[in-house]
Amino acid sequence: MTSSRPELRIGDKERDLVAAVLQDALAEGRITLEELDQRLDATLRARTYADLDALVADLPVDLPSTALSGARPAPEPRPLGGPGSSPDDRLVLDAGWSSVTRRGRWDVPPFLRLNGAVGSVRLDCLQATPLAPTVDVEIDGGMGHIRIVLPDSWAVNTDRLTSQWGMSSIKVSATPEPGAPLLLLHGSVGWGWLTVRHAGFFDRRRLARQAALGRPHRRALGH
């Protein structure tokens, strides 16, 4: 049984579903391309189910708030193996003198090591699937820039992270939402720069467009 809770906060999953519905509406001739762009922008700025309801109220789909049935379930455990499965065999992202990026749809193992060296590391988890409720992340900032981008529901603990002359900018909660993972950061920022944040406007716009263009067939919200 579903219940309408328009005042509740939304996450990236709900924004992606609305983006897909809007693309379907464009393909069916219900809205124009200009309207699609306007509504996608509004989708990225949406914060509650009520905000999303207004964007699809004139379309023949269920309102996002009525599709709400409870908290997201915790991710199902997957068999572990290979890099990242143990503290002695971490998944390593090493920038060296250049840059390295991990983003898109990928599995986040329980153990990682991020080495900034004199380059840059970008760990983008916006479309990632965590394989454990806690992710142990060893930081070696060096003189580089390490950037971590997380979904709204994820959180970070930096109690065991030290710094020499480096700088840290942590803009996420220390407490994850139910079913979401906690990243445990330890090690040293060194002389580098560490940034941990949620998705920005351009991140959300990129994901919304990917979701819209990647779903050519009509689908109902909540399914």
Strand partners, 130: 108
Structural contact between residues 169 and 194, judged by C-beta atoms closer than 8 angstroms: yes
Has this prediction a pTM greater than 0.85?
no
pLDDT at residue 5, rounded to an integer: 66
Q: What is the dihedral of CA 219, 178, 105, 218, to 10 degrees?
A: 0
What local confidence, expressed as pLDDT, does residue 208 receive? 74
Give the model confidence (pLDDT) of 38-79 as tens digits. 888 888 888 888 898 899 999 988 888 886 544 444 445 555
Which pLDDT value is given to residue 204?
Answer: 79
What's the pLDDT at 17?
Answer: 81
Q: Which residue matches tokens 């220390």?
A: 174
For residues 184 and 9, give the distance between their C-alpha atoms in angstroms, rounded to a whole number: 25
What pLDDT score was predicted for residue 11? 79
Give every residue of the chain whose pLDDT is below 70, as ranges.
Answer: 1-5, 67-81, 211-223
Distance of CA 7 to the CA centre of its chain: 22
